[in-house]
């Protein structure tokens, strides 16, 4: 039993823990041993936090013995390394933050610790979450556990690969333009971007503040709902955090979808989409229809502008957010300079990677005098139109369904030299961040032994219906039970 436990769901492990068939301490050691053993092959974890994990597991065992456990008590978790963890190095995958240990926990970390979840490590990512393949990390590329010659997707590639490979039971990622959903699709796991503002961003190292959102990566839709129940909250430390009554995001998972209206946006079946992706998508639609949903094709013509809008807004926000890294307060600092200006110049030059520099330049240009109105201001206006287009669609439909990505995982190094080709990997996910909507990617097939993802999109605050439809599909297939051979 123990050798396979890292592929079980939260609910399955909860029963084992509560029935005293295994302790959290034993479980944590098993998962850590697994992670140490395979991390040399896939490089999904930057830092293992063994001492903290064992201490947390012992506290979880005590809590279980007292009968005061939460669903997440004693469950091993990995955290994307752009989420602040007190006293634990948090690098955002960048040299410029090497050695930085935050003096505080992000709100989501506090909420995990409050229920005695077990934090086992920090996962690899594209530097500052800027990338679609987790090849941009200063700590080396992460590899896909289904085929180590291929990418896991990005930027939360370490989190998705870690869950897929059994290095943790669930993981947290962040999603700015698809960074949870696309790697979840590439690695054959479930990953959700909640409604913007549902999860506090306090302690998340900012990339694009109006787009960033923390979310779960897990082995099942129910696991995603359990994590959302645990980490969602109003937070006065985050001005964008929503004040709303608590709702159980897993409440409707067992319900049918008869009569649920599903829109199929034709623009998401983009030119050049991998034929196997299209075939798997069509089969998924047949399953949803046979389960009682009403399906209808729709048009969202502004989708074609989403990539352009995103690559003006996101780099613009990044150029502002990353201005704080000057080598004075934290992270690396180049001291052999003639003055403070040169020191900042050298620190950033050596500390930031190529993709981060590219996006800072793009953003600075878009915000500069003479170009602000032509680029940034115009992008914000189109963003409003994209939001309105989605809102109009949700007046008719309960959810929208699309492929998560136009291809399966591609080979390491095959797109890293072509930024435009790399950016196209997120063409199906970016519009959702622009509009601040909830969306989930769930496993929906295999092509040549590589996973395919299905994306389900809901209206703002429609996280429950997204999870309900995703769970219904999941229960009609067995794709989420497939695991890599690593």
**Domain residue ranges in the chain:** 2-259+398-481
pLDDT averaged over the chain?
96
CA-to-CA distance for 139 and 95, rounded, in angstroms?
8
Query: Does the annotation count 155 as an active-site position?
Result: yes
Distance of CA 164 to the CA centre of its chain: 13
Cα→Cα distances 475→40, 182, 223, 259, 288, Å = 34, 21, 14, 18, 11
CA-to-CA distance for 466 and 439, rounded, in angstroms?
7
Task: Check pLDDT > 60 for residue 2.
Answer: no
Q: What is the per-residue pLDDT for 1?
A: 38
Per-residue pLDDT averaged across 165-177, rounded? 98
The catalytic position among 155, 233, 319, 425 is 155
pLDDT bucket at 129, cuts 50 / 70 / 90? very high
The fold of 2-259+398-481 is Amidase signature (AS) enzymes (3.90.1300)
Q: State pLDDT tens for residues 102-116.
A: 999 999 999 999 999
pLDDT bucket at 97, cuts 50 / 70 / 90? very high
Give the number of C-alpha atoms closer than 13 A to the C-alpha of residue 371, restricted to the C-beta side: 10
- Report whether the peptide linkage leading into residue 434 is cis, meaning its omega lies within 30 degrees of zero: no
Task: Check pLDDT > 80 for residue 3.
Answer: no
Sign of CA dihedral 94, 99, 100, 105: positive
Task: Check pLDDT > 60 for residue 427.
Answer: yes
Give the number of C-alpha atoms closer than 13 A to the C-alpha of residue 210, restricted to the C-beta side: 14
Per-residue pLDDT averaged across 21-39, rounded? 98
**Percent of the chain having pLDDT more than 90?**
91
The catalytic position among 94, 179, 425, 441 is 179
Per-residue pLDDT averaged across 217-235, rounded? 97
Number of other residues whose CB lies within 10 A of the CB of residue 384: 11
Matching residue, tokens 């590589």: 450
Query: Does the annotation count 179 as an active-site position?
Result: yes
CA-to-CA distance for 208 and 151, rounded, in angstroms?
23
Task: Check pLDDT > 70 for residue 347.
Answer: yes
Q: What is the per-residue pLDDT for 335?
A: 79
Q: What is the per-residue pLDDT for 413?
A: 97
Q: State pLDDT tens for residues 353-406.
A: 999 999 999 999 999 988 999 999 999 999 999 999 999 999 999 999 999 999
Residue scoring higher pLDDT (6 or 343): 6
Matching residue, tokens 């970390």: 109
pLDDT bucket at 337, cuts 50 / 70 / 90? confident
Nearest alpha carbon to residue 214 among 226, 187, 188, 232? 232
Q: What is the per-residue pLDDT for 376?
A: 96
Q: In terms of pTM, does the model score above 0.95?
A: yes
Q: What is the per-residue pLDDT for 379?
A: 97
The catalytic position among 35, 44, 80, 184 is 80
Cα→Cα distances 3→7, 39, 112, 217, 358, Å = 9, 17, 25, 21, 44
Q: State pLDDT tens for residues 313-333.
A: 999 999 999 999 988 888 888
Query: Does the annotation count 381 as an active-site position?
Result: no
Tokens representing 56?
């947390």
């Amino acid at each position: 039993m123990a050798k396979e436990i890292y592929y079980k769901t939260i609910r399955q492990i909860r029963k084992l823990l509560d029935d005293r068939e295994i302790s959290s301490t034993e479980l944590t050691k098993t998962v850590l041993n697994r992670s140490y053993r395979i991390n040399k092959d896939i490089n999904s974890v930057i830092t293992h936090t063994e001492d903290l994990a064992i201490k947390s597991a012992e506290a979880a065992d005590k809590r279980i013995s007292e009968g005061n456990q939460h669903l997440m008590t004693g469950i091993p978790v990995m955290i994307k390394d752009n989420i602040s963890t007190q006293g634990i190095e948090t690098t955002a995958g960048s040299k410029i933050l090497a050695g930085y240990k935050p003096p505080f926990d992000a709100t989501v970390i506090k909420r995990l610790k409050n229920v005695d979840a077990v934090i086992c490590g920090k996962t690899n990512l594209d530097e500052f979450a800027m990338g679609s393949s987790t090849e941009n990390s200063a700590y080396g590329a992460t590899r896909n556990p289904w085929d180590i010659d291929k990418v896991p997707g990005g930027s939360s590639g370490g989190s998705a690969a870690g869950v897929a490979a059994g290095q943790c039971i669930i993981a947290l990622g962040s999603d700015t333009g698809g960074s949870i959903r696309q790697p979840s699709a590439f690695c054959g796991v479930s990953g959700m971007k909640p409604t913007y503002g549902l999860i506090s961003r306090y302690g998340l190292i900012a990339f694009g503040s109006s787009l960033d959102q923390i979310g779960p990566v897990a082995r099942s839709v129910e696991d995603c709902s359990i994590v959302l129940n645990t980490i969602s909250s109003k937070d006065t430390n985050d001005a964008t955090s929503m004040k709303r009554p608590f709702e159980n995001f897993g409440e409707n998972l067992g319900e049918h979808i008869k009569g649920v209206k599903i829109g199929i946006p034709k623009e998401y079946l983009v030119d050049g989409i991998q034929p196997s992706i299209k075939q798997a998508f069509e089969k998924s639609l047949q399953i949803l229809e046979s389960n009682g949903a009403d399906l209808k094709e729709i048009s969202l013509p502004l989708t074609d502008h989403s990539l352009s809008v995103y690559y003006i807004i996101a780099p613009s926000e990044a150029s502002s957010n990353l201005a704080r890294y000057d080598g004075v307060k934290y992270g690396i600092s180049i001291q052999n300079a003639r003055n403070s200006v040169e020191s900042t110049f050298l620190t950033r030059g050596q500390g930031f990677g190529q993709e981060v520099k590219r996006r800072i330049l793009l953003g600075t240009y878009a915000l500069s005098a003479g170009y602000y109105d032509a680029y940034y201001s115009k992008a914000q206006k189109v963003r409003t139109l994209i939001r309105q287009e989605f809102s109009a669609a949700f007046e008719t439909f309960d959810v929208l369904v699309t492929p998560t990505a136009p291809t399966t995982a591609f080979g390491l190094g095959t797109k890293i030299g072509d930024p435009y080709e790399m950016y196209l990997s997120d063409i199906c996910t970016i519009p959702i961040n622009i509009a601040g909507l909830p969306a989930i990617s769930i496993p929906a097939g295999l092509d040549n032994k590589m996973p395919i993802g299905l994306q389900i999109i809901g209206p703002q605050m429609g996280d429950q219906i997204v999870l309900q439809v995703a769970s219904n599909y999941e229960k009609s297939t067995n794709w989420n039970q497939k695991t890599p051979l690593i």
